[in-house]
Structure 1
Amino acid sequence: MRAQNELAPFAHRCRVYYEDTDAGGVVYYVNYLKFMERARTERLRHLGFSQSQLAEQDLLFVVHSSEARYLAPARLDDELRVTAHVSELGRASLRFTQQVWREPDQTLLCEGQFLIAAVRAETFKPRAIPPALRDAFVADVSGNQSNAGE
C-alpha cells in the first residue's frame, strides 16, 4: 500500500452499490472515474461553489485528460474514501491527483490524475478561473499544509 499524501486531501465517502459492479461482482473499472468525478464536485461544494452556480457565471469544468491505475478490486457494499487533491492550479486549468481507498482496511484501490479545463459554458473556449474560486483553492491547500503536522 502506498503512503497517503501528507496534505490530508479532501475526501468524499461513498459505498459500492450493485449497479457499480460487473458480472464478476467487482466494481466495473469506469465506475472509479465516476467516484472520482463526484469527489471533485463535492470538493467544489466544500469550497462553497456548485456546478450549477458556476454554469450561471459562464464557467464549466471539463475533463481534458485522465490517467488511472487500478491496484485492487472493490466489491459490493464496500465503503470507499475518494480523495481529491489539487496538485497544480493554472490560469484556466486544475490538475487533480485522486485516490480511491477501501475503508476500514485502508487499501488503496485506484489512483489517477485528471487535467480539468475551465471553459465558457456557451462556447467551450478556455477561460480564466474566477479569482474567488482560485483564492478558495489556494486557501484550502494552504490550510491543509498548516494542519499536516497536527
Structure 2
Amino acid sequence: MFSHPIRIYWEDTDAGGVVYHAQYLAFLERARSEWMRAQGHGQDVLRQEHGLVFAVRAMGLDFLGPARLDDALEVTVTLIECRRASAVFAQQVRRGDEVLLTAKVRVAALDAEAFKPRPIPPSLYEQLKSLETPGA
C-alpha cells in the first residue's frame, strides 16, 4: 500500500483548528499524484509522453474523525480497479492507527488536448492492471 505524508497547517483548518472538509480532496489528489509518480508516470510524463490526463469522475467520502492543526497524517492509495479508460482507487487518511477518512475515487482517462475520454495506452494499462488489488 502506498502512503503519502501530510502535515496540517493553519491554511488547512477552519476557525476551530479542525481540517476543513474540502481540504481532504487536495490531500487525496496529492497522494494519487505521488502514487502515479512512484510508478514512473508523473503528470508531466503522462501528458507529454502519452497525451493523457486523469480527471476525477466520481468520489465517495466517509468522514470518520477530525484532523487538527499540526497533525501528521498519512494518505494511502490502493488501485482497486483498472479499466480501459478509467481507474478506481481506495484511499484513507490516517493519523497513526486511526482512520479519519475513507474514499473511493474513480478517475477517467482523457486526451490531454481535447479533454475527451480516451483509452489508457496499452503499455500503461498493462502496468496499472498489474497493480490492481481488488476488494482492498
After TM superposition, the score normalised by the length of structure 1 is 0.83
**What is the RMSD computed on CA atoms of the aligned residues?**
1.5
Match of 1:55 in 2: 47
Q: Deviations over 1:51-84 (max 9, x none)?
A: 0111123101001111111010001111111111
Quick one: distance in 1 between partners of 2:54 and 2:108? Answer: 6
- Most deviating of 48-57 and 107-116: 48-57
Instruction: Please say if 1:99 is aligned against 2:92.
Output: yes
**Are 1:73 and 2:91 matched, yes or no?**
no
Whole-Å separation in 1 of the counterparts to 2:41 and 2:118: 17
Q: Which has the higher strand share?
A: 2
Cα deviation digits, residues 67-124 of structure 1 (max 9, x gap): 1110100011111111111111100000111100012xx1100011111000101111
User: Aligned partner of 2:124: which letter?
Assistant: L
2:115 equivalent to 1:129? no
Which 4+ residue blocks in structure 1 deviate beyond 3 angstroms? 138-142
Instruction: Work out which of the residue numbers 21, 25, 30 in structure 1 matches 2:22.
Output: 30
Match of 1:138? 129
Q: CA deviation at 1:135?
A: 2.6
Q: In structure 1, what residue type is equivalent to 2:35? A: R
Query: CA 1:123–1:37 in 2, change beyond 3 Å: closer, same or farther?
Result: same
In the alignment, what sits opposite 2:33? Answer: 41
Structure 1 gap ranges (5+): 1-8, 143-150
Q: For the Cα contact (< 8 Å) 2:81–2:129, is it kept in 1? A: no
The residue number in structure 2 matching 1:82 is 75
**How far apart are 1:48 and its partner, in Å?**
0.5
SS at match of 2:131: helix
| TM-score (structure 2 length as normaliser) | 0.91
State percent identity of aligned pairs.
Answer: 46
- The one-letter amino acid of 1:37's match is E
Mapped to 2, the partners of 1:128 and 1:116 lie a distance apart of 12
